[in-house]
Structure 1
Amino acid sequence: MNVLATTHRYGVIGNPIAQSRSPFIHREFARQTGIELEYEAILAPLEGFTATVEDFFRAGGKGLNVTVPFKEQACALASGHLSQRASVAGAANTLWMHEGELHACNTDGVGLLSDLERLGYSLQGRRVLLVGAGGAARGVMQPLLLAGCAALRIANRNPARAGQLHDVVSRAMPELAARVQAGGLEDAGQNWDVVINATSSSLANTAPDLPEGLYAQDALAYDMVYSPEPTAFMQQARQQGAGRAVDGIGMLVGQAAASFAIWHGVAPDIEPVLHKLRDALLYT
C-alpha cells in the first residue's frame, strides 16, 4: 500500500460502528479548519481489536478514536504512553503514533466539561452525583474532580462496583479522595446540583432506578446518551424536579474536538458542528 496516500487517514474503531457520528463530526471539523483528511468508521472483530489497530497504523494511519467495547483494550495497547486521564480512567478513546510509539488519551471528561461550560454550568463548589460505575463513569471522574466540585458521589446499582471506582480514584488522586463517596442507587442522597447519568440505560429507553429528592433547586440532569427526543433519564429527571435536563450530544462533539486538537494542534469551533449534528439527528 502507498503510505503517502494514507498520510491523513483517521478513523473510529468499534463493534458495532455503523451508528457512529464521529465521521460526520470530524469531516465537519476538517472542513472548518481547512485540514485535508480521510476519516472512516472501522468495524473491528470482537477478538481482533489489536490486529485491526496495528494494521491501520502500519498502513500509514495517523489517529484513531475508540468506542465500545474497546476502550479498555486501547488503554492496555498503549500502556507505555498514556495521558494521566487515560491512566486514571483505565480506558482510552484516542490513539495516535508519535516517533513510532502508540500513545493514548481519554477525552470523554474534557468533552463533558466543555459541554457543561457551554450550558453555563460551572462545577466549582457544586455537589455532583455520578450515576454508574462503568467505563463512561471512569472516563469522567478525574476531570470532574479537577473542575472543583465540592462533593462527588458515585451511585451504582451494584454498590461494590461504585466502591471499586472510588478506590481507583482515591489511589490516583489521594489529595481529592475526601470529596468522593460511593454507594448504591437507593442511598444516592439528596439536593445534588448536577446529576450525570453515565449508564447506558437510555439506550434501552429505560431510566436508572433513582429515588426521589435527588435534585436541588435549579439542578441540572445530564444524560451522556444522546437522542432526537428526551431520553428516559431526562424525562424521569424533570418529573423528579430537575430544573433542566439535557442529553450528551454536546459531550460527543466536545470529546471529538479534544481528539481533533491532539491530532492536529487546532481547536475547532464546536457550536456550528453541534447544530448541524442535532439537525441531522432530527431529520434522519
Structure 2
Amino acid sequence: MTRLYGVIGDPIAHSLSPLIHNQWMRDNDIDALYKAMQVPEGELKDALETLTRQGARGLNITLPHKQTALVLADEVGDLARRIGAANTLIRTESGGWLAENTDAPGFIHTIETADIHVAGKTVFLLGAGGSARALAIALTDLGANLTICNRTISRAEEIADNLPVRPEICTLDIGLERLAAAELVVNTVSLGHSGKALELPPGTGRTFYDISYGKAAAPTLAHAAEQDWKTMDGLGMLVAQAAFAFEHWFGMVPDMADAEARCRAVVEATT
C-alpha cells in the first residue's frame, strides 16, 4: 500500500519539497507519495485529524503552522522544544505525532559543508522570525558570538531569552551599520519579490548567507557579491532539512547533492 507523506503550509504551491522527496522515494524504491497540501492558518488541527485517518506517515510543516504543530503533537523532540517550533511530524507506533525540527541541523550541515567555522566568531543574524529562532539556537550551540538584529527589538528579545548564552540585540538599521564587524552574516529578512536589497558594506571575502533563494534572494545576493561578500543562498538548507526529515521517516540520509542540483535547475529556469 502506497504510504502518504507531504508538506503543509499556506501558501504552498511554490514548494520544491514534492520534487525533492518524490525523487528520493523513487531512488530508494520506497512505495510512498509526497504531496503539497494547502492548509489555511487556524485549520491545522482539522487537517492533521483527517491525515491521521488517511494513514499519513510523515509531514513537513511550513508557514504559518510551525508553532501550532508543536502544540498539537503528542510527543515533542528536545530540539523542537528548544526552538519552539516543528517543521517535521513523524507518526509514532501508538498512532500519534512526534514533532521534530530539522531546520537547525539543516543549517548546520550547510555551513559545515562550506567549511565555515563559527566558534568564537562574530555572527550577525538579521531578522527574528521562526527561521531565525532555529538558526539562533544552532549558532549559539556552535559557539558563535551572536548579535540578533531586528526591526522590532521585542521579537529579538524573545529569542534571546531562550538561548543558553544571551546574544547582543540591536535594531536592524543599527545592525546593518555594524556589519563591517561581522565574520558571517545570516539573513532571514524576507524582501519577497519586491526587487529591494539590503544595503551592505564591503565584505572583503566574508560570507553573507541568505536563507531565501531564487527571486526572493536575488537582489540582495547580487548586491552582496558586488560588495565582495562570498554569498550563499538557502537552497542547500532547504534540501538538508528535507534530508533529515527523510531520515526521521525512513532511517536513511538521501543524496543531497543531486537533489540540490535538481532544485537549482528549476529555480534558475524561473528566475
Q: Look up the match of 2:250.
A: 264
User: Which runs of no fewer than 5 residues in structure 1 stay unpaired?
Assistant: none
Q: Look up the match of 2:225.
A: 238
Whether 1:193 and 2:183 are equivalent positions in the alignment is: yes
Q: Look up the match of 1:123.
A: 118
Whether 1:220 and 2:207 are equivalent positions in the alignment is: yes
Q: Look up the match of 1:27.
A: 22
CA deviations over 1:119-169 (Å, ceiling 9, x no partner): 2222233221110001110122212222232x0110001222212211122
Structure 1: distance between partners of 2:216 and 2:76: 36
Q: Look up the match of 2:235.
A: 249
Q: Look up the match of 1:112.
A: 107
Equivalent position amino acid for 2:172 in 1: L
The CA deviation at 1:61 is: 0.5
Cα pair distance change 1:207/1:157, threshold 3 Å: farther
> SS of the counterpart of 2:14?
coil
Q: Is the 8 A contact 1:160 1:183 kept in 2?
A: no
User: Which runs of no fewer than 5 residues in structure 2 stay unpaired?
Assistant: none
Structure 2: distance between partners of 1:117 and 1:69: 29
Q: Is the 8 A contact 1:67 1:93 kept in 2?
A: yes
Cα pair distance change 1:139/1:205, threshold 3 Å: farther
Whether 1:133 and 2:128 are equivalent positions in the alignment is: yes
Q: Is the 8 A contact 2:6 2:37 kept in 1?
A: yes
CA deviations over 1:165-184 (Å, ceiling 9, x no partner): 11122xxx2xx33xx11111
Q: How much is the aligned-residue C-alpha RMSD, in angstroms?
A: 1.9
Structure 2: distance between partners of 1:185 and 1:47: 30
Whether 1:40 and 2:29 are equivalent positions in the alignment is: no
User: How many aligned residue pairs are there?
Assistant: 266
Equivalent position amino acid for 1:185 in 2: L
When structure 1 is superposed on structure 2, of 257-266 and 31-40 the one drifting more is 31-40
Whether 1:184 and 2:184 are equivalent positions in the alignment is: no
Q: Is the 8 A contact 2:191 2:216 kept in 1?
A: no
State TM-score, norm by structure 2: 0.91
Cα pair distance change 1:223/1:144, threshold 3 Å: same
Structure 1: distance between partners of 2:155 and 2:227: 26
Cα pair distance change 1:228/1:157, threshold 3 Å: closer
Q: Look up the match of 1:74.
A: 69
The CA deviation at 1:30 is: 1.5
CA deviations over 1:58-86 (Å, ceiling 9, x no partner): 211000001111111111111x5222221
> SS of the counterpart of 1:45?
coil
The CA deviation at 1:42 is: 0.8
Equivalent position amino acid for 1:61 in 2: A
